[in-house]
């Protein structure tokens, strides 16, 4: 969602969240709200008068995905078990030249490479964290099944065949 005229406050952010949007930005890169979330992202403009040093500061402002482990209680098995999920983390540097000064990557390989790096880091965090969550949840599920099957009659038995003579 893009805030009209770049204006927003806590009430507008709540309405945007209630409408189902997961992220929002403003056309005014200096606007801020009380929260530091995906619903208060500044928009960074890219033009030709920003130095590469200022643009490098922009790299510190990014969004990544990380795995998060939580403990859940299962009343049927009467056990606590772990479960993983993905969580989005937004890193803002705040009011810096990188967030207030536009950057232009036209005919500038270093700048284009930096933009690709921003996208690459975010994409890589999704792939790596997603893989960790899949493997982690599989291990936690197996652990839960082992702890939940306390009745020996419920444990599946593996039949052993007699060796051929």
Where is pLDDT greater, at 94 or 12?
12
pLDDT of residue 101: 40
Handedness of CA 27, 66, 123, 16 (dihedral sign): negative
**Angle between helix 52-59 and helix 109-148 axes, rounded to 10 deg:** 10
Q: What does the alpha-carbon distance between residue 39 and residue 18 come to, in Å, rounded to a whole number?
A: 11
Average the pLDDT over 129-155 and give the result: 78
- Report whether 98 contacts 55 (CB < 8 A): yes
Q: What does the alpha-carbon distance between residue 74 and residue 82 come to, in Å, rounded to a whole number?
A: 10
The answer to which of 9-18, 24-33, 59-68, 134-143 has the lowest mean pLDDT is 24-33
pLDDT of residue 76: 81
Q: Which residues, in sequence order, are bridge partners of residue 72? A: 81
**Is the model's pLDDT at 96 over the cut of 70?**
no
Handedness of CA 123, 56, 103, 112 (dihedral sign): negative
* pLDDT tens string 56-67: 666 555 667 778
Burial, 98: exposed, middle or buried (Cβ in 10 Å; 0-12, 13-18, 19+)?
Answer: buried
**Is the model's pLDDT at 37 over the cut of 60?**
yes
pLDDT of residue 91: 58
Where is pLDDT greater, at 39 or 33?
39
pTM for this predicted structure: 0.45
Confidence of residue 93 (pLDDT cuts 50, 70, 90): very low
* pLDDT tens string 106-131: 556 655 566 566 666 666 777 888 88
């Amino acid at each position: 969602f893009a805030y009209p005229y770049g204006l927003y406050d806590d009430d507008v952010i709540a309405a945007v969240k209630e409408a189902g949007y997961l992220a929002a930005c403003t056309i005014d890169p200096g606007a801020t709200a009380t929260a530091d979330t995906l619903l208060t992202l500044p928009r960074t403009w890219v033009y030709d008068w920003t130095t590469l040093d200022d643009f490098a500061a922009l790299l510190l402002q990014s969004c990544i995905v990380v795995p998060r482990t939580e403990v859940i209680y299962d009343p049927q098995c009467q056990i606590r078990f772990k479960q993983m999920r993905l969580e989005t983390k937004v890193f803002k540097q705040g009011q810096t030249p990188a967030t207030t000064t536009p950057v232009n990557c036209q005919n500038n390989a270093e700048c284009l490479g930096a933009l690709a790096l921003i996208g690459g880091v975010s994409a890589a965090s999704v792939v790596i964290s997603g893989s960790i969550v899949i493997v982690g949840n599989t291990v936690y599920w197996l652990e839960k099944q082992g702890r939940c099957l306390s009745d020996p009659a419920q444990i599946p038995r593996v039949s052993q065949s007699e060796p051929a003579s």
